[in-house]
Structures are given as C-alpha cells and as structure tokens.
C-alpha cells in the first residue's frame, strides 16, 4: 500500500460521519443487488389485505399499500431503481463533462472554448429538476430517458470544474516539462492532467449520485418516472392521498430516500476531507 493510500485510509477511519455514510451506502448497495432476490413477493403483486399496518401481519412486516401490495418488496425493488438511475446518470454526467472540460481547458481563449462555456452557462441557468421534467415530458418516460434527462442538467458543473483544473495544471512544472520533451497535447491531457483531476471528480461523482436519486424521486412523485419500474418516489406519491389514515405508506419510502441521500452525502464529505478537498468549494486545500 502506497503512503498516500495509507494516509487516506487513516484520515477516513477517523471520520465517524464518513464511516456511517459508508455503512449506509454499503447496506443500500447490498439491498439493491440481493434484495429483489430475497423479496418475498413481486413489487406489483397483490398479495395481502389492503392497508395493513406495519407489524399487523408477520408475513408483511412493513404492511401493505392501499392495493394490497407488499411495501417491503416495493422498497427492496425500488432501491435497485434508485441506484441504477443515480449511478448511471452521475457517470454519464462525469464522463461528458470531463471531455468538455478537458477540451475547453486545452483550447482556453479560443472560439471553441467560448462556445462551450456559453453552452455551459445556458444549461446552468435552468434548474436541473425543471430541465429533467421538460426532457421526460417530451419523450416517453423510461429508465434511459430519466438517466439522460438527469445527466443533461449535471454535466455543466463537471465541465467547469475540469476546465478550471486543466487551466491550473497546464502551468505546473511537470506539464511544462512534458511539453518540452515533445509529448503531444492529447497525451498530456490523458496521462498528466486527467489523473490529477481524479480526486475532485470522485467527490463530485458521489455528490451527483445523491442529487440524481433526489431528482429521480421527484420525477416519479410527479408521475414522470418509468411506469415499468418500482420507485421510492412513486411509492410516496401512491400513498399521499392516505396521509391522514395510512401515513406510513408515504413515510417509509420517504425515509428510505432520506437515509440513502444522507449516507451518500456523508460518504462524499468524508472522501473529500480525507483527500484534502472541500466538497462545497471543490478546491484542494493546501
């Protein structure tokens, strides 16, 4: 183990919030992978008496919704949906934003850089949730549409971050030395600048995962989610008309969203502090 990795692990282990976030995310990932296999019933199957309260019937420990569907099964399958969309949208945003940021930073001051930055400003001027709502409303709601819609509003932040890091690293001694020895600009970007952007990108990836899960839940709550997939936001929406009598039907999936987003946020902050990065300013502390 290298000294830098050992130092990171030591700082991470001392951060209780980061360890709590890691435990929550690990549990949620386990449920996303294995939960549907252990689910007692299908998420759409009507298997119980409608409106069972948690603990009322041991076969349905979290109760049933107003149609008689098992809430536990819905939560387990919904966890996979949230992670699939959150991770995919965050990865797509990071990859596309990184490519744009590297290209703009390499051609800083040119018309290409100005055009890309104006495009970034246009996308940043529109709230991410509103942009995702428009995109999903224009096309048929599906997992692919949701991922593309969420990533469309997230990539500009990555592009700005990578461009800023590229401009800073271009003036570094090791980059100037590589250029003096005849290394091509493309190779410098891939082998010198991009690896040095990996730490802030890792923090941003986890931040985007949390925001993507929230946006997906919001879209599903508004009826713009994938109708063929169980979603925690959809479960909250399904129980909103019964808040006065069966409030647990919205509370349980709402708590699941809250715990997962808080866990990812704690983990993101812990990774950033262990790497010497402030996740709020996205700058490396000296």
Cα dihedral angle (148, 189, 158, 99), rounded to 10 degrees?
Answer: -20
Query: What mean pLDDT comes out for the span 227-238?
Result: 91
pLDDT of residue 284: 41
**272 SS3 class:** helix
Q: Is the pLDDT of residue 2 over 70?
A: no
Question: For 146-188, what is the HEC assignment?
Answer: HHHHHHHHHHHHHHHHHHHHHHHHHCCHHHHHHHHCCCCHHHH
Opening angle at CA 133, ends 132 and 136, nearest 5: 80
pLDDT bin (cut points 50, 70, 90) of residue 1 is low
pLDDT of residue 283: 44
Q: How far apart are CA 197 and CA 64, in angstroms?
A: 47
- The pLDDT tens digits for 56-109 are 988 889 999 988 999 999 999 999 999 999 999 999 999 999 999 999 988 888
Cβ atoms of 73 and 52 within 8 Å: the answer is no
**What is the sign of the dihedral through the CA atoms of 96, 97, 101 and 104?**
positive
Q: Is the pLDDT of residue 282 over 60?
A: no
Query: What mean pLDDT comes out for the span 202-206?
Result: 90
Query: What's the farthest any 2 CA atoms get from each other in the chain?
Result: 75
- The pLDDT tens digits for 6-46 are 878 888 888 899 999 999 999 999 998 888 788 778 888 89
How far are the Cα atoms of 19, 70, 266 from residue 271, in angstroms, in the given order? Answer: 10, 36, 9
Cβ atoms of 263 and 24 within 8 Å: the answer is yes
Q: Is the pLDDT of residue 244 over 90?
A: no
Which residue segments constitute the domains of the chain, with CATH numbers given? 27-37+68-261 (1.10.3720.10)
């Amino acid at each position: 183990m290298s000294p830098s990795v050992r130092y990171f692990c030591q700082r991470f282990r001392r951060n209780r919030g980061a360890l709590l976030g890691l435990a929550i995310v690990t549990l949620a990932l386990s449920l996303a992978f294995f939960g549907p296999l252990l689910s007692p019933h299908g998420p759409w199957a009507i298997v119980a008496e409608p409106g069972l309260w948690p603990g009322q019937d041991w076969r349905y420990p979290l109760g049933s919704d107003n149609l008689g569907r098992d809430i536990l099964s819905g939560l387990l399958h919904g966890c996979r949906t949230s992670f699939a969309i959150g991770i995919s949208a965050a990865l797509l945003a990071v990859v596309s934003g990184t490519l744009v940021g590297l290209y703009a930073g390499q051609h800083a001051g040119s018309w290409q850089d100005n055009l890309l930055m104006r495009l970034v400003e246009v996308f940043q001027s529109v709230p991410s949730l509103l942009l995702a709502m428009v995109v999903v409303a224009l096309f048929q709601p599906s997992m692919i549409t949701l991922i593309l819609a969420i990533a469309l509003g997230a990539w500009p932040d990555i592009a700005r971050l990578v461009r800023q890091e590229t401009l800073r690293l271009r003036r570094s001694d090791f980059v100037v030395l590589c250029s003096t020895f005849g290394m091509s600009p493309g190779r410098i970007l891939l082998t010198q600048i991009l690896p040095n952007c990996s730490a802030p990108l890792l923090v941003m990836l986890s931040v985007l995962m949390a925001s993507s899960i929230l946006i997906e839940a919001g879209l599903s709550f508004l009826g713009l989610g994938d109708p063929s997939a169980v979603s925690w936001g959809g479960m909250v929406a399904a129980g909103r008309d019964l808040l006065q009598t069966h409030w647990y039907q919205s509370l349980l999936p709402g708590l699941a969203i809250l715990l997962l987003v808080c866990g990812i946020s704690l983990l993101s902050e812990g990774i950033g502090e262990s790497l010497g990065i402030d996740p709020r300013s996205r700058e490396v502390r000296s």
